[in-house]
Structure 1
C-alpha cells in the first residue's frame, strides 16, 4: 500500500505537485507508480471544499497517497482536510514553534494533539463497520502527516524551537519564498549560496530529529535527484502538472515554428 511507504522512513518516496483540479492528473501519476500527490490549495483555485474532496477521492481510488497543501494554518481547515481523507497536510509559511504546536493540535488526537472528533466523516468510515473510537484515534495519529514548510527567514531564526516540538513528520523546503524573504535570487535548483546554506542546515536538523525532508527536483534530471539524495531528501517532488503541460506545448510550438519557417522559406 502507498501509505506503508510514507510511514516507513527507510523508503524514498516520489510525487508531483497538482495545481489543476483534474483527477486525471492524479490517476496518471498513480499509473506511473508515483507514491504521492501534493495537492495544492494555497496557490490554485482549489479550496478546502468539494473540489479538494474530489481530488482526494481520486488519489485514494488510484492507490496513491494524497497530501494537501492547505492555504494557511487555520485549525478548522486542517481538521477538515484530514477528515476528507488526506494522508497529510503541508502547511505554508511556518515561522514559530507555537504555530507548529497548534497545527499538531488540529491534526492529531489526544494524547498527541487536541483534534476534535466526529464519527460521521470519511476518515472514520462514517461510523460504520463496528467503529471504535480508540482504534480510530490511534490509527489517525499514525496516518495523518504534519508537514510544515520552511520557506521564510523566520523559520530558520526559530529552527531549534520548531524541531523541539514533537509530532512533525516531514519538512518541505520552499526555495522561492525563502529567496523572496531574504531578498536573494529565486533558484529552484537551490544552487544560490544563501539558499544552499539554508537547505543544508534544514537537512542536518531533519537527520538529527529523524524527520523526513521533502525537496523539489528542479530541473528534473537524474543528476538533480542524486544531488537531493546526497542532501538527505527522502521525499522527492519530480515535477508538476503545469510544468508538464508547458513542456508539451513548448515542444509543439517549436515544431509548428519549424514547419512555418520551412514553408515561408
Structure 2
C-alpha cells in the first residue's frame, strides 16, 4: 500500500486540477462529485461545520474514485486541529488568512514532519494504521499544505510566503481580498466583477508570478465555468469551480423558475 498525492499526480498529467468547496457535510455529495470526475474537494470547516467522524466518511467517498479530500480550517493558528484532521486521513489542509511568512511557517510546522515542520507522529487512519511504508518520510511530499492569500498584507508579503519550504500551494480568495482592498464584491462573472478591477488584476498577477517563481502551485476560486477555464489558461493549476450548496441553490432556483415560466406562458 502506497501513499499517493492525487493533486500532484493530476497536475503532472494534465497541468491543472478542478475542485469544489463542499459545505454540506455530505459524503454523498463528495461521491457524486468524484464520480463526475472532479479532482479534489475542499471540505469547508471555516464557514460550515463538519465533525471528525463525518470527515472520515467524506474522505472514503472521495478516495474511492481517486478524488483528493482536502479541508479548509477556520483558524490558521490552530495547529492541533490541522494535525488531527491529517491524522484521520485528509490529504491536505488549507488555512485562511495567511498574511505573513511567520504564519506560513507555522502552517508548515502544523502539517509537515521534521525537518520541514513539527507535526507529531501518529498511527491512525492517516498512515493507514501503519500500512503506509515509511509514512513519516513520504508524508511531507504527499500531504498538501495550502496557504490562502486573501488580504492586502498577504499580497504584499507574497514573495516571502511563497519562498517558505513546505508551502505546496497558494490559493487566492478573491472575495475577502476584494473586501480588504475596498472593492465591492459581486458574486457573478460579469465584467463588473471585482476580480476584473485593475487593482485586483494586479494583485492576482503578483501572486501568480510569485508562485511560478518559487515552484508553488497557484490556486484561485472562480464563480463560473467560463471563469474557471480562463484561470487555467492564465496559468492557475488548482482551481475551484463551485460550492456544492451554492450550486444546488442556484441550479434548483433556476430549474423551478423555468418550470413556472413555462406554465405561465404556455
Query: Which TM-score applies when normalising by structure 2?
Result: 0.88
Match of residue 160 from structure 2 = 161
SS in 2 for 1:122: coil
Secondary structure of 2:69 counterpart: strand
* Aligned-pair Cα RMSD in Å: 2.1
Mapping of residues 89-238 of structure 1, within 5 Å = 89-119=93-123, 121-127=124-130, 129=131, 135-187=134-186, 189=189, 190-221=195-226, 224-238=227-241
Which protein is bigger by CA-based radius of gyration?
Answer: 1
Offset of residue 260 of structure 1:
5.0
Q: CA deviation at 1:27?
A: 0.7
SS of the aligned residue for 2:64 comes to helix
- Equivalent residue pairs, number: 255
Aligned to 2:49: 45
The answer to whether structure 1 residue 239 and structure 2 residue 242 are counterparts is yes
Contact 1:36 1:65 in 2 (8 A): yes
Question: Would you identify which runs of 4 or more consecutive aligned residues in structure 1 move more than 4 Å?
Answer: none
Distance 1:197 1:187, change over 3 A: farther
Cα distance in 2 for partners of 1:218, 1:53 equals 28
Residue 150 and residue 21 in structure 1: after superposition, are their counterparts in 2 closer, same or farther (change >3 A)? same
Of 1, 5, 15 in structure 2, the residue corresponding to residue 3 of structure 1 is 5
Is structure 2 residue 92 aligned with structure 1 residue 76? no
Structure 2, gaps ≥5 residues long = 190-194
Instruction: Determine the C-alpha separation between the residues in 1 that align with 2:100 and 2:198.
Output: 24
Deviation at 1:52, TM superposition (A): 2.2
User: What are structure 1's unaligned runs of at least 5 residues?
Assistant: none
